[in-house]
């Protein structure tokens, strides 16, 4: 498998992860999607590394340069208020294909774990009304908005987080709440050069 253009340290870590999972007997399938700059199609802003591990999706988005694509995604300069609103919209775009348009009452959990300032894994699931756990497949749009929210909260609170979680409980009128995992709690390691 050739490196589609990801920074070498991150690429090597991914390869090792897949090798370890495969040798442990897990089923691993990988797809790459290059996200081009809409104003310059020759420029890659980010790469989505979509990993299906034992039939559950986990998407790691790797930015070419941290924050470079915020303008292209339409969230450049957003403070916390519009970011909280936009996160609600993108979360609905993640869940509605499964639960139906306009439904916001299902239990939902989405997680974003930072790998480095320019990369994170996004994964999650919905608990259907019948109690079935259904995985969701995120993409770069979800990553960028959730990551921007995490960075803005980090800036205001003057602390670093390794993970942000988005939760919605059944029967809670679609209320979305956020949990933040401080860096030292999870043993987060950064590839910051």
Residues that bind other proteins (CB under 8 A): 79-81, 84-85, 153, 156-159, 172-182
Alpha helices in 42-99 (DSSP H): 70-73, 80-99
Q: How far is the CB of 171 from other proteins (least distance, A)?
A: 11
CB 56 within 8 A of CB 123: yes
Shortest distance, position 54 Cβ to other proteins, whole Å:
30
DSSP 16: H
Q: Which is nearer to other proteins, 22 or 185 (CB)?
A: 185
* Comparison of 19 and 157: residue with beta carbon closer to other proteins: 157
User: Smallest distance, Å, CB 158 to other proteins?
Assistant: 6
Cβ within 8 Å of residue 35, ≥6 positions away? 44, 45, 46, 47, 48, 69, 140
CB-nearer residue toward other proteins: 170 or 175:
175
- Smallest distance from the beta carbon of 85 to other proteins, in angstroms? 7
Q: How far is the CB of 67 from other proteins (least distance, A)?
A: 19
Smallest gap from Cβ 161 to other proteins, in A, equals: 8
The residue (of 26 and 184) whose beta carbon lies closer to other proteins is: 184
Angle between helices 140-157 and 80-99 (to 10 degrees): 150
Query: 130 or 173: whose CB is closer to other proteins?
Result: 173
Backbone angles phi and psi of 77, in degrees to 5 = 80, 0
Q: Which is nearer to other proteins, 36 or 185 (CB)?
A: 185
What are the residues whose beta carbons fall under 8 Å from the beta carbon of 147, sequence distance 6 or more? 112, 114, 120
- Burial of residue 132 (number of CB atoms within 10 Å: 0-12, 13-18, 19+): exposed
């Amino acid at each position: 498998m050739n490196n589609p253009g990801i920074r070498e340290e991150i690429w090597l870590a991914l390869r090792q992860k897949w090798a370890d999972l495969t040798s442990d007997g897990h089923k691993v399938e990988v797809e790459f999607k290059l996200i081009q700059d809409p104003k310059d199609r020759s420029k890659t802003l980010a790469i989505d590394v979509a990993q299906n591990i034992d039939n559950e999706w986990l998407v790691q988005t790797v930015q070419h340069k941290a924050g470079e694509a915020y303008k292209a995604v339409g969230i450049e300069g957003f403070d916390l208020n519009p970011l909280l609103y936009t996160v609600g919209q993108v979360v609905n775009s993640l869940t509605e294909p499964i639960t139906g348009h306009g439904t916001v009452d299902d239990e939902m959990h989405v997680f974003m774990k930072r790998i480095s300032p320019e990369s994170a894994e996004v994964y999650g699931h919905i608990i259907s009304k019948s109690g079935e756990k259904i995985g969701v497949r995120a993409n770069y749009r979800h990553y960028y908005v959730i990551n921007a929210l995490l960075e803005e909260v980090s800036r205001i609170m003057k602390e670093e987080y390794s993970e942000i979680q988005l939760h919605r409980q059944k029967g809670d009128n679609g209320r979305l709440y956020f949990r933040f995992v401080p860096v030292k709690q999870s043993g987060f390691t950064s590839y910051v050069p």
